[in-house]
Amino acid sequence: MSATATAVNPTGIASIGLHFPALSLPVEELAELRGQDPDKYRVGLGCEEMSICPPDVSVVELATEAARRALSRWGGSKERIGMIAVGTETAVDMSRPLSAWVADRLGLSGAIRSYEVKHACYGGTLAVRQAAEWRLSGAARDQAALVVAADVAMYEEGDPGEPTQGAGGVAMVIDEPRIARIDPVSYPWSEPQFDFWRPVGENYPRVDGPLSLDCYKRAAENCFKAMIGQRDPEVVLRELAAICFHVPFPKMVRKAFYRVGEFLDLNAERIDGFFQEKIYPTMMWNRLCGNAYTASLWISVARALKGLAAGERVAAFSYGSGFGAELMMLEAGPDAAAGAWEQDVETDFRDRERIDARGYSELRESRS
Ligand code: HMG
């Protein structure tokens, strides 16, 4: 090989770290506060609990701690990190990227490409794709990327989106595919829409709820259609160990998969069978943290990969308002079975404090 030729690196997720804030609110408490039937939140939306940040914790702490955990588990040297890409829609500055805060706190500087990626909840997935494609192109040489997806989702008090709030961060080192190989080919779909957006200077998003549901379902249908192509959908879906989705609230995922299943001509029983077996279990951690925007899909992927045997395959559907979507395919590597990152979730969920309706109101009051 000539001195300038590049070699394609085996590429995938080498390490995972997660972090959730120290408070949580059961949706029943919010239902009481807003005078709603708790079943509207529990059954109608499929939500259980939402992660809430204490006053001194922001997206910076969520992203940094998730990254610190991923790096500590990785085993590689910090000198090999050549890219830090952070996907978020909770930006703390219009110019300085969140990656600079993370890099500063973790002592990462030098020959590193460092930046923030924005496309609503899709930003984290774009960061993963860019990191993977950077390695696959050969441009990375032997360097690895640190990718973080972190967000704090808050709606205006009383907004229909309030029960879907949440917070959390996921970080991944994209390097050798010890946990999962990332397929080079993926299936994107985008359409310019105003389904959910937050104008500059406003604290809370504006949402066209029904439109957002339609956009999400249309994106899922088109991405799965492209992935399945001319193959038998039954066979393709059966071969997947898990199918992960962006989880704004669990019922959304069910609605979207029904749309996909109907499009693929599966009957209701088969759709339900696939949903219960391959999708519902992947949302176990999401149900306990709410919508963490960019992190949501990757929380589900982390849950799905834990315990898989090498070679088992996972589909990961990303959706971000505006809107952009992409379906990625992953294949479990030798370290997926041990699922070391589960201890982050166990620790954070075990140690967090449950607040009640009054505590939540006081917290919001102190923020405003
Ligand atoms: P809503 O006003 O609560 O809607 O808003 P609803 O009145 O239609 O009720 C919701 C469900 O609860 C319905 O079920 C009701 O029947 C049921 P469905 O008919 O849809 O199956 N229900 C009950 N069930 C049991 N017992 C009861 C009861 N009462 C009613 N007593 C909406 C819902 C999703 C619009 C709202 O939560 C919202 O605006 N959320 C934010 C937007 C969102 O999450 N959209 C999802 C797709 S967009 C996306 O994923 C991107 C996002 O993550 C942002 C980003 O990309 O950055 C949001």
Nearest CA-CA partner of 79 in 50, 52, 108, 105: 108
Going from the Cα of 229 to the center of ligand 1, the distance in angstroms, rounded, reads 31
Distance CA(217)–CA(307), nearest Å, equals 29
Chain region(s) in the chain for CATH 3.40.47.10: 3-179+342-367, 187-332
Mean pLDDT, residues 17-25 taken together: 98
- CB atoms under 10 Å from CB of 118, counted, come to 17
CB crowding 65-103: b at 16 or more within 10 Å, else e: bbbbbbbebbebeeeebbbbbbbbbbbeeeeebbbbbbb
Coil, strand or helix at 62: helix
Q: CA of 184: how far to CAs of 133, 134, 195, in Å?
A: 7, 11, 30
123-146 tens-digit pLDDT:
999 999 999 999 999 999 999 999
Confidence of residue 7 (pLDDT cuts 50, 70, 90): low
Rg, Å, the chain Cα set: 20
Which of 37, 164, 293, when mutated, tests ligand 1's pocket best, judged by the most ligand atoms within 8 Å of its CB?
Answer: 164
Which atom, in ligand 1's list, is nearest to the CA of 210? 35
For the structural domain made of 187-332, what CATH number should be given?
3.40.47.10
- Residues whose beta carbon lies within 6 Å of some atom of ligand 1: 37, 39-40, 43-45, 89, 120-121, 160-161, 164, 195-196, 207, 209, 212-213, 216, 246, 248-249, 252, 291, 293, 319-321
- CB atoms under 10 Å from CB of 363, counted, come to 17
Residues in the chain: 368
CB-based contact 54:21 (threshold 8 Å): yes
Protein residue whose Cα sits closest to atom 45 of ligand 1: 212
For the record, the structure tokens of 354 come out as: 């449950």
- Helices 123-137 and 296-305: crossing angle, nearest 10°? 60
Going from the Cα of 208 to the center of ligand 1, the distance in angstroms, rounded, reads 11
pTM above 0.95, yes or no: yes
Catalytic site positions: 89, 121, 246
192-233 tens-digit pLDDT:
999 999 999 999 999 999 999 999 999 999 999 999 999 999
87-118 tens-digit pLDDT:
999 999 999 999 999 999 999 999 999 999 99
Mean pLDDT, residues 171-188 taken together: 98
The confidence score (pLDDT) of residue 2 equals: 39
Protein residue whose Cα sits closest to atom 6 of ligand 1: 44
Protein residue whose Cα sits closest to atom 23 of ligand 1: 40
327-359 tens-digit pLDDT:
999 999 999 999 999 999 999 999 999 999 999
Q: CA of 204: how far to CAs of 57, 95, 165, 332, 360, in Å?
A: 18, 20, 11, 38, 17
Which atom, in ligand 1's list, is nearest to the CA of 159? 39
Coil, strand or helix at 151: strand
- The correct answer on CATH 1.10.3720.10 for the domain covering 3-179+342-367 is no
